[in-house]
């Protein structure tokens, strides 16, 4: 069961990585094209700001979920690594529980915004404002699932959990 959950989260993480990179490239392309049009032709894409903002929301929040799955976030582990095996696992579980609570609150808060945003639309493209909150909700759900998986791995494997907690290897890392 735990192995299947890990495989599913790995597959989701790969898809999230592709989506985050595509959103980043879209942001760069739209902003770059708009800057070129403004300075070279004294013209602009009136929809560029809304598209760039939505794409930025996607690559920031979905990218955060990818970073968590790859365990590429910044961590100060000096104290944790100096602890004996059992206290280390206990501290990891406490930290993962706190993270899960945070992600659950973030998910609930982002979902609670949707009814308020139902009738609000963007000025130019006339798309619902909830589309701008959707990447946050997805990332919170994805990171909540990742945290639950990591806690399960720590409970099952304890000290030997190490590499089981890393669900992705980012392209610039050695395999």
Per-residue pLDDT tens over the stretch 39-70? 999 999 999 999 999 999 999 999 999 999 99
Whether the full predicted model's pTM is greater than 0.85, yes or no, is yes
- How far, rounded to the nearest angstrom, does the alpha carbon of residue 137 sit from its chain's CA centroid? 10
Q: Are 19 and 170 in contact (CB under 8 A)?
A: no
Provide CB contacts within 8 A for 56, sequence distance 6+.
23, 27
CA atoms of 60 and 139, how far apart (whole Å): 9
Q: What is the largest CA-CA distance in the chain?
A: 65
Tell me the pLDDT band of 166, cut-offs 50, 70 and 90. confident
In the chain, count H helices and then E strands: 5, 0
pLDDT tens track for 69-85: 998 887 767 777 788 87
Q: Are 112 and 65 in contact (CB under 8 A)?
A: no
């Amino acid at each position: 069961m735990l192995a299947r959950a890990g495989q599913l989260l790995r597959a989701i993480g790969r898809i999230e990585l592709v989506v985050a990179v595509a959103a980043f490239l879209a942001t760069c392309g739209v902003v770059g094209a708009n800057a070129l049009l403004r300075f070279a032709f004294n013209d602009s894409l009136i929809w560029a700001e809304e598209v760039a903002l939505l794409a930025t929301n996607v690559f920031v929040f979905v990218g955060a979920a990818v970073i968590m799955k790859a365990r590429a976030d910044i961590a100060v582990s000096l104290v944790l690594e100096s602890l004996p095996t059992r206290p280390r696992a206990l501290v990891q579980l406490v930290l993962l529980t706190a993270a899960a609570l945070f992600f659950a609150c973030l998910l609930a808060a982002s979902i609670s915004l949707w009814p308020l945003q139902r009738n609000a639309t963007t000025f130019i493209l006339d798309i619902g404002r909830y589309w701008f909150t959707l990447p946050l909700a997805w990332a919170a759900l994805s990171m909540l699932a990742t945290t639950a998986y990591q806690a399960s791995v720590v409970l099952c494997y304890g000290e030997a959990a190490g590499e089981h907690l890393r669900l992705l290897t980012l392209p610039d890392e050695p395999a």
